[in-house]
Structure 1
Amino acid sequence: MSIPCPGKPVRGSQSGVPIMALFDLLGRNWALGIIWNLQTGSSTFRELQERCESISPSILNTRIKELREVDIIERTNDGYQLTQRGEELMELLRPFGEWSWVWSKEVFNFTKHV
């Protein structure tokens, strides 16, 4: 499977508008989970696998390669971490995380805080 690329057909868009290419990338199995789990700092492959709970090593490896290729994460001496672009993406995603807690409480009466 190729990495979604703006200007080429992606899920949800035949023209490949950039937002749809990004949604296609982030919508892949575990892509957002990896990004979310790297917001607290760098992590080795094994640590990241533990943070992501049920992710298989092959899926983790594939997503790491994809996210590295599109400049969202990078490999350092300490493991994997968000790039500057990845940090910018996290700044946009954090409000979604906050919104989701309000939504889950109000709509589903969910109060367990992970």
Structure 2
Amino acid sequence: MRGSKTGKPIMALFDLLGRTWSLGIVWQLSFGDATFRELQKRCEDISPTLLNNRLKELIQLDIVERTSLGYGLTHQAKMLANLIKPMGDWSQTWAENYQNKNDVRDDDAKIL
């Protein structure tokens, strides 16, 4: 498997998703197909060169496909998106708890 020295598909997937903006592109396309410019905006104004390179790579690996609306996830990548979507909910709770914990620490620091 490309991206894996062990030949294990999970390691190749982790390598792929760990590349700059690969997971972000999959995440953004999980909410619907997008044109290049729309996807660029969804990805916090990723550089056009990086977005183009990642899209080419994701298309080659059968994660992203060209659609009538621009780019979208393949059937198999939609299954991947369904696996990672619960992480979005978890991350919201985590971020809120982290922020609340830091707010308490900031209040304690003001007292000292």
What band does the TM-score fall into relative to the shorter chain?
0.7 to 0.9
Q: Report the secondary structure of 2:72's partner residue.
A: strand
Q: Which runs of 5+ in 2 are unaligned?
A: 102-112
User: By how many angstroms is 1:54 displaced?
Assistant: 2.9
CA RMSD between the two structures: 1.7
1:59 aligns with 2:50: yes
| Equivalent position of 2:106 in the other structure | none
CA distance in 1: counterparts of 2:31 and 2:93, whole angstroms:
22
Q: How does the TM-score come out when normalised to structure 2?
A: 0.81
Unaligned runs of 5+ in 1: 10-14
Superposed structure 1 runs of 4+ greater than 4 Å apart? none
Q: Residues 1-114 of structure 1 correspond to what in structure 2 (within 5 A)?
A: 5=2, 8-9=4-5, 15-109=6-100
Give the secondary-structure state (helix, strand or coil) at the position aligned to 1:104: helix
Q: Higher relative contact order by CA 8 Å / sep ≥ 6: 1 or 2? A: 2
Residue identity matched to 2:48: P
Q: What letter matches 1:5 in structure 2?
A: R
Aligned partner letter, 1:33: G
Corresponding position of 1:12: none
